[in-house]
Structure 1
Amino acid sequence: MSGRAWQAAGVTGGALLLIAGCTWGAHKDPPAAADPSEAPGPPVGSVEHPRPVDCVDGTTPLPGQEAGSTATAGRPWSPPGSPSSHSGRDDVTVGPLTLQGLRGLAAGDQNAHGVHNSDGWHYLIGASVRDGGSVTVTIGTEQRARAGLEFGGGQSMGPAPAVTFSACADAATSFLGAFFVAGDGRACVPLDIRPSDAAPQRVVISFFHGECPA
């Protein structure tokens, strides 16, 4: 083979090696397949995602009148009428939230304050929130297996360990719901009540269980 032939062959071979080298160098493994689904968030009504009880779930007063309470039509355990009568001294007030008569259930006639079914006892309670206020109520860990909050949601929703009350922006708002206690309905139930702009406050409520430790 002549010198020119060898030279041409060398150039051609070098070009092929260069192309092959570029091809090999450019090769990359395909990216790992992304996880098609992300972990679902906490369910509504859980401690991490309290059930919202909003303006549309409550009632606001007519001009010149006190705030009323919502009806509980549709709940199978719902008693007629309004929450237990109270003088105000048994109310629990934390920030903009007032739970009416909640401290007055330590003793007396359970049937006068609640409704019993196969699940347990449902104690009808009125709640009111000052205009624009927002407060989260959470059942303490000590009684979450037995107690729950029955505010907001439809009739198919069971008791929740946590709810967030949010009043209408321009008016105090009242809500009617219940506290649920399983079994015989007698327990000391701790509540952690946290206004949106303040630290939580622990309150222990006696549901026909006599005096409870603070």
Structure 2
Amino acid sequence: MGWTRSLGRGLVIAGLALVAGCTSSTNPPGPAQGTGAQGSSAPGSQSASPVSAPFLRTCDTSVYGDLGSDWRKGGLAAGPLTFVGLGSVGSAAADDFAPHAGRYRSIKALAVVDQGADVTVSIATADLGHAALIYDPSSIRDDGLYAVNDGESAVTFRSCAKGQKNALGYGGPTQFNGGFVVDGPRCLAVDVVASGRPPQRLVISMGRGRCPISG
């Protein structure tokens, strides 16, 4: 899958090179093939993690790629948000999460948000210090290796307004490139809060096979 991304309103960069820092060898480009071993959604099963000044991604910094017709079916969804591209991360070998001079390979996950929605994703309290979100374009590293403290504990995705095209001229659900960094295999819990909806918890398998629904 190739993505095109806008940095601000004027500068446009095309191709996968711009997301090299958010690419993991544990997952190929493209929508995940299923969520059974990757994660699960538990509406209202846990209260949302405390969110303090989450990093903000807006329509102007969104990307675009052809997701195909069945991208929602293969994604991991919570309300208006779908994570696409987790691929085979749940069944990845422990070595794929091993440290490299104190840093870890990032796990790429495209965040796709319905138009007109604000969604905040936060790492659950129990996983803080072990995992982080990598969605700040300025934090992308050429080698794709990150320390947990290189990422954010919470990110707000502010999609394009209904009917609005992004800076690249594309409409439809808003796409944000990025992913996760984790310091080893785990069942990672993230809390998702969208306006007008109850909080939801997603439990994502990072090299742990099938994870329980609740965090």
What is the TM-score of this pair, normalised by structure 1?
0.58
Provide the C-alpha distance between the structure 1 equivalents of 2:114 and 2:94, rounded to a whole number of angstroms: 30
Which amino acid in 1 is paired with 2:180?
A: F
When the two chains are superposed, the root-mean-square deviation of aligned CA atoms in Å is 3.0
Partner of 1:4: none
Provide the C-alpha distance between the structure 2 equivalents of 1:67 and 1:87, rounded to a whole number of angstroms: 6
- Cα distance 1:125–1:138, how it changes in 2: closer, same or farther (>3 A)? same
Provide the C-alpha distance between the structure 1 equivalents of 2:52 and 2:156, rounded to a whole number of angstroms: 11
Q: Equivalent of 2:134, from 123, 127, 150?
A: 150
Partner of 1:178: 179
Is the 1:98–1:127 Cα contact (8 Å) retained in structure 2? yes
Is the 2:186–2:205 Cα contact (8 Å) retained in structure 1? yes
Residue-by-residue CA offset, 1:45-86 (whole Å, 9 max, x unaligned)? x9211110111221357xxxx469xxxxxxxxxxxxxxxxx9
Is the 1:127–1:175 Cα contact (8 Å) retained in structure 2? yes
Provide the C-alpha distance between the structure 2 equivalents of 1:135 and 1:87, rounded to a whole number of angstroms: 19
Matched ranges for 1:65-104 at <5 A: 66=66, 88-102=72-86, 104=88
Which amino acid in 1 is paired with 2:125?
A: T
Is the 2:190–2:201 Cα contact (8 Å) retained in structure 1? yes
Aligned-residue offset at 1:116: 6.5
- Cα distance 1:89–1:109, how it changes in 2: closer, same or farther (>3 A)? farther
> Structure 1: 5+ residue runs without aligned partners?
1-45, 69-85
Which structure has more strand as a fraction of its residues?
A: 2
Is the 1:137–1:164 Cα contact (8 Å) retained in structure 2? yes
Which amino acid in 1 is paired with 2:150?
A: G
Which amino acid in 2 is paired with 1:92?
A: L
Is the 1:99–1:127 Cα contact (8 Å) retained in structure 2? yes
Is the 1:90–1:102 Cα contact (8 Å) retained in structure 2? no
Larger Rg: 1
Greater mean alpha carbon deviation, residues 167-176 or residues 155-164: 155-164
Is the 1:149–1:161 Cα contact (8 Å) retained in structure 2? yes
